[in-house]
Amino acid sequence: MKLNPYRADISEKMSEFDLWVTPSLGEIRDDPQFQTNLQQLKKGFDLLARFSNDFINFNSCSPKQLTEKIMEYSGVFSEADVKTCLSCIWNVLFLSTGKTDNNIKCQFPIYLQNVLGVDTYEKRTKSGKTKRQSFPRVITADDVTTILLCIKDDKKSAYDFLSAYISLILSDTQYCKQLWSLGKAYIQQKNEGDADSLLTSIAVFQSRGSITATQGHIPEKRLREYMVDWGLVPDLDFNIFDVEIGELLGDIEVDDKIKKRKYDFIIPYRTRENGKKIFIQSQFYAGDSGSVSHKVVDQTDSSRSVTKQKYPDAVFVEYLDGAGYYASLNGDLKKMLSKATTKEFFQIRTAPLKLRRELQEICFLTVLELEHAIIKTLGNPRDVEESLINDGYCKDDIHALINDAISRGLVIIENGNFKINDARKEIVRRYCLLDIIANYGEPIPYNSKTGVLYVAGYKSFWGLSQTDVVKIASERIPGINSLWESVVSPIADIQWLLDKQFVKVK
């Protein structure tokens, strides 16, 4: 549905950001990777408890004691079990000492050479033969396990190798005491049925870096899911990986730093060679990432300038969200939104309205807009075309999209009229209700009424009563009535919009 245009001033933009901000992308404890890390820690402590008689004293955590017990264990269990268990043990040793695989992997080869005076080991080939192999210059924890399994039949060499590795990590008595102290606390909490309470905080800090980095891609993942709902094709209508500016410019000479900057989204990506394209950079800051944020703001003008050399009709839109922008980075947010080249911004919750409106303004027709035209006109092909022409789309684009939607099975021809695929009915009517609120809403003070649905992208507290949303949709979009399967379907659709947080209710 063609969305009404709107241009907000900077104060409205800042106010809208605050109202629709997504503070964080979830607790680290809720991430599957956290649960994996927690279970690995528990398994590692359980194994070490077994090797140390429940951490009876700190001498039970000496490199000698642990080496002997691990050697016994590795001689009894399968290679797969040994690999899993050793990985968990290394994890606990790094945790208790504060050392990291990133450092030890570089230090261990030097330690082997300088302390033990060895730089090779016997490696068994696939044919069963052995050959002398040089130790690599970097030996990760996983490499230690692999090499240990290779040489386990040579008991002395395996013992010396394993002992050297554990001794490098537990390099003095204090480190052994740290391991013992944590182990004793774990056993005590485990006996009381509360081991998770001890290890959860440890696993959170251990997982924070990798999970936070992964979470940074969640906004992009969600936006791609939204665009698929709108009928866009990945890697055709929008890119599925970040695109470096240098890839776009071809032979145009630019500074290497600028050349390596990336656009998270380009729409349309391959569908349209000429004409307007939307270039989007995504930044989500759940906390204070000042140095990164300032750099992004500073480089924005230069990166947009060189993009304009290749794409003079480029439209720049920012995908910004997170508590960091609400709080300490609010100044950077204001600078970004105030730039003359920033056409618009949107957030996770406002993308379904605000980015779609930008796509409409560059006349990029999506399947969802075609489907809305179908339910508005009851599917008469001539009326569908006329409706889309009135919305500003050209005939060639309309015909091309209709043919594409039919070939993909999204639109069906039945008795000479267009029909919507059953699998698309829910998403079509739900977005229709969202658009009704946007187009027929009005400014309503937040505390003045109840039963009001609010959307972003227009004046603050822009909304429409729930009863009017369904009434207007039924009257102005006659085809939506046939998409509702029961009298409760409109209520379920509104609840979906609320659950997705595309709308707010008062």
List per-residue pLDDT tens for the chain, 506 residues long.
Answer: 999 999 999 999 999 999 999 987 766 566 677 788 888 899 999 999 999 999 998 889 999 999 999 998 887 778 888 899 999 999 999 989 989 999 999 999 999 988 888 888 877 666 667 778 888 899 999 999 999 988 888 889 899 999 999 999 999 999 999 999 999 999 999 999 888 888 887 777 766 655 455 555 789 999 999 999 999 999 999 999 999 888 888 777 777 777 778 899 999 999 887 789 999 999 988 776 665 566 677 788 889 999 998 899 999 999 999 888 988 889 999 999 999 999 999 999 999 999 999 999 999 999 999 999 999 999 999 999 999 999 999 999 999 999 999 999 999 999 999 999 999 999 999 999 999 999 999 999 888 888 999 999 998 899 999 999 999 999 999 999 999 999 999 999 999 999 999 999 98
Alpha-carbon gap, residue 472 to 468, rounded angstroms: 6
CB of 124 within 8 A of CB of 150?
Answer: yes
CB atoms within 10 A of CB 266: 20
**Residues 6 or more apart from 474 whose CB is under 8 A from it?**
480, 481
d(CA 395, CA 413): 19
The pLDDT score that the predictor gives to residue 288 is 66
Chain CA centroid to CA 437, Å: 29
pLDDT (0 to 100) of residue 256: 72
Distance CA 287, CA 411 (A): 44
Sequence ranges of the domains in the chain: 10-25+216-359, 29-209, 367-505
Long-range contacts at 378-383 (CB < 8 A, ≥ 24 apart): 378/417, 378/478, 378/479, 379/417, 379/418, 379/419, 379/479, 380/417, 380/418, 381/416, 381/417, 381/418
What is the model's pLDDT at position 297? Answer: 78
Joined tokens for residue 238: 């929008």
Q: What's at 348, amino acid-wise?
A: I
Burial class (CB within 10 angstroms; exposed 0-12, middle 13-18, buried 19+) of 28: buried
- Give the integer Cα–Cα distance in Å for 337 and 318: 8
Angle at 238 between CA 233 and CA 243, to 5 degrees: 145
Tell me the chain's radius of gyration from C-alpha atoms. 30
Closest C-alpha to 504, from 2, 75, 16: 16
**10-25+216-359 CATH:** 3.40.1350
d(CA 470, CA 465): 9
